[in-house]
Chains A and B, each alone.
Chain A
């Protein structure tokens, strides 16, 4: 049950070109901002949209190959989909929703109902079999949608933002349940999300898609340690700067200069800098920090007990300080200040 996909298609102004491979039992998260083409990718995998070029193979069987003139319609693919807002059939009970795929494939009414109830039991909704979707909570509806997709024993499971429609209170519990079901699923799972927490909790691998292209792929740890785009850097909460490195000095594309450690690679590089590694001062600091530059505070943002200062200057960065430090500094948007960073703080890697 392996997936081998090279998806290329156009949707309006979006041009999507994404290659995706996965082994049986693997969960791949497609991470990306809104409008990156994540949902278009899922629709192409499900067969709801056809490829313009490329190919799509599941278990070695060609499902879509425009060059060869092959297109298997969605109802003949062994693909299960959990849609973002679940799209349950509102005129059917939870049981009939789950049984729908079995009935559509010609299974008898009683056997379909029996299997549907077994699945509802597995997702902990045995008591809700007779309820209409309207009477279900968001978390319950999500579990019905999951059972509806899994009851037909698909080889490929597609999850489109499966947790986005849930409130923060139920998301954690539903995520844990989902993890458990994915662990027991033998096929390939492709999970589309814009939330790195979902990707971390559910996926083995991450593919970051921006504007229809894969910008980065690997394990979540690899991706977050060396972000290759502003989007990923913001997700992870680090400053990402691009420049050229030579002998322990990075000349940034914006004009600033950062001194880094000597073992940094030369040539075009990306520099990741944690906001908490940026110190902010009222007066020009003296002493050890190798990097000191004048800044203007453009924004003061509160996150719980942490303060994020957006600093404009030769090296535009976000600094994170404590509430106490802010009180001591007494800066406001528009104020001039000084920023400093130790040479050992920036992570430098080849772009």
Chain B
């Protein structure tokens, strides 16, 4: 390599990749880009507007948003205390509980759906009492969609927040307590602000996972338009009956997910890269 090229490389700070690695990396990029290109290429652009404004699609979109946002809210409400327990609790079997609470991340979602059935179904472990005592049936209802989505999405939030809590300097919370702050006040005014980037990142991850949830939902909640048919389910159904509609709906999901990733990257995900707000 000539001296000048080496000098230029040193100045820009860019390391030239070995050619074979570069080729493989470009193949990987193509692997991710091609399916989207295919969708765009096959999309029935002339019918797109009428498909998007049809009642069935509007229902599915609305249901998807309502359920995924509800699942995110539930994940925040229960997941933050769970993350706190896992990060700060001192009790035997903590590793086991963490594994249990994040199992649904690696489980095939269908299995999660079956398990939810066994627990909350009309003849399930808990579900039978709900039915007998309160006449409540959970499966195949909109709440079932929210439960299924929460089941698979919450671990993403729990793990993200737990990592942030672990990285926190506990002495800052000590300092707050010596200033007269109760544990609850310390959590609200010191701990939460410090883990806010992780909280945002975890919530976005959980929401994205809930929005795309398919397996657990269709198993536990079924596929009823208007009550349990979310966008991914609608895509699956229309693939057999109306392929152009499936493509348009897929594009909608892609657009939403992509917008979230790009739009929130700097605000939340990027923020999580830095140490939580100035703690050493």
Interface residues, chain A, CB within 8 Å of chain B? 43, 46-48, 73-77, 79-81, 83, 85, 87, 89-91, 100-101, 103-105, 133-134, 148-149, 152
Contacts and interface: CB of A to CB of B under 8 A. Distances in A.
A134 B193 CA distance: 16
B20 interface: no
Contacts of A149: 178-179
Nearest to B175: A87
Interface string B242-266: 0000000000000000000000000
A238 B82 CA distance: 57
B172 A87 contact: yes
A137 B15 CA distance: 38
Nearest to B174: A48
Given A91-B194, A104-B182, A104-B185, A73 B176 contact: no
Given A89-B172, A89-B190, A74 B278 contact: no
Contacts of B179: 75, 80, 100-101, 104, 148-149, 152
Interface of B: 169, 171-172, 174-182, 185, 189-190, 193-194, 277-280
The 7 A-B residue pairs with the shortest CB-CB distance, nearest first, are: A90-B278, A101-B179, A104-B181, A87-B175, A74-B177, A91-B193, A81-B178
Given A47-B177, A83-B171, A90-B277, 5 more contacts: A43-B174, A80-B179, A104-B182, A104-B189, A105-B180
A103 B174 CA distance: 16
A48 B178 contact: yes
28 contacts: A43-B174, A47-B177, A74-B177, A75-B178, A75-B179, A75-B181, A75-B182, A81-B175, A83-B171, A83-B175, A87-B171, A87-B175, A89-B172, A89-B190, A90-B194, A90-B277, A90-B278, A91-B277, A91-B278, A101-B179, A101-B180, A104-B180, A104-B185, A133-B278, A148-B179, A149-B178, A149-B179, A152-B179
Max count, chain B CB within 10 A of own CB: residue among A73, A79, A100: A100
A149 B180 CA distance: 10
A83 B173 CA distance: 12
A48 B279 CA distance: 20
Given A75-B180, A100-B176, A134 B278 contact: yes
A152 B180 contact: yes
A116 to B, nearest CB: 12
A136 to B, nearest CB: 11
Contacts of B190: 89
Contacts of B185: 104
Contacts of B194: 90-91
B177 A75 contact: yes
Contacts of B180: 75-76, 101, 104-105, 152
A79 B176 contact: no
A133 B280 CA distance: 13
B135 to A, nearest CB: 46
Max count, chain B CB within 10 A of own CB: residue among A47, A89, A105, A133: A89
A48 B278 contact: no
Contacts of A81: 175, 178
Contacts of B279: 90
Nearest to A81: B178
A101 B179 CA distance: 5
A91 B279 CA distance: 10
Nearest to A49: B174
A104 B184 CA distance: 10
Contacts of A148: 179
Contacts of A105: 180
Nearest to B275: A90
B263 to A, nearest CB: 23
Contacts of B189: 100, 103-104
B178 A46 contact: yes
A92 B194 CA distance: 11
B181 A87 contact: no
